[in-house]
Chain A
């Protein structure tokens, strides 16, 4: 194991800023701010709960501040790279996920699937490299609990699902879009808890972990 947490943190911050710069270029600053709040803030809150309150896993030896910062920026990068791939796959050449109505839910759904498939590679590698440790032992896939993949799907599905409708309000400026995004965190967190409970319950009912 040779986990370098400093490089990982700096890399995730740089990557997140590149993703935000792309969003600012395509959609404008207020939508980049909204994306930062909805993909970084929302996922950081939920992932932080999973790490510290429920204690499903931990980043060995890292402080709560380090963990919050890493997951905040890490999820922005992860969500951005999966979201725009999903958009490219589903959108017509002359449309995008904002203008093509059915994509409002299809792109988030595909983003969730793309992210989970990516994590089927990432998680075993990250555990082997010592970046994080699971306290819940999975029985299906490299001892990684299925609740991890449920978490990835739920977060990567719901964050774009909240952000895409926000982009439609083209005339909203920073303050209004930022405030609306912060307010949206409440129903978003509730929805993610409900969806996680349902999906994890279904998995448990099948006798899997």
Chain B
């Protein structure tokens, strides 16, 4: 549609612009300078790359994901959150994006690696932090952890987040500037407060490297993309109270039944997903059996001098409305005051509850739904 408008408008306007161009003077015709030219590194090849580039690139550089190494669960969360923030795609496309991200950006050290060697990864371009950040070698980090537990944990704490006797190492500028021990080593030798003290053990170059891997691993685990970004426990409610809410003030039983559509729902979703699904059914949700499909919104459109057309919503804004009917035919209209548009939103009751639930109600309902195995 927009292409046609552009073609129609462009011919006369091009002439108009050319006139101005001459008036401005040829002096503005600078040569095109693309400085610092180097072929941009993009997303790694793989199925779903183009879809990822298109859907994610609508809002931000798609390469933002590079260096964000996450588990499949975390990528599902990320995609779910992005949909809420405006990412547009069909369930099939979003599954494609999730699978692509999961395959291309697995967690640090998760890719198969030869023992004692860093996992091979594509060269980093963009993502949070520096491109040249340390690639953590899980085996070395494990060795570093033993060293750390014996020699450092007393003062710097079990998670390297510091105690009254020693600073936080996750936030330490020395550690953050370090790569494979190159800053940490000299620091331990000469600048650590205990450097001249017999209490600080002399570490070999390899031990410093191991320690460095452990500390960078701790730092990576602290990032919001790290492995500890899980919902801890939502089963804090009372199932009986949840059932009472379900059948009473919540009015859930008007549409749902524990022996009908909700039978076995707790086997389909883990408790955290269950909670999200009934709060925000329109948001895309990943169940134990893949992406959950949302029910379509149905519209009935009645033109001033025509028969009503009912179908699933394809597009609706202030100016246009389009539907696809049960036979698969597509209809679209310009919205005018005499075009009647009736919306049957299957989730309207869920939206209304957002203003009514207490947090206690929510947790009680989850506890109840969790009994529907």
**B is a partner of A:** no
Interfacial residues, chain A to chain B (CB-CB below 8 A): none
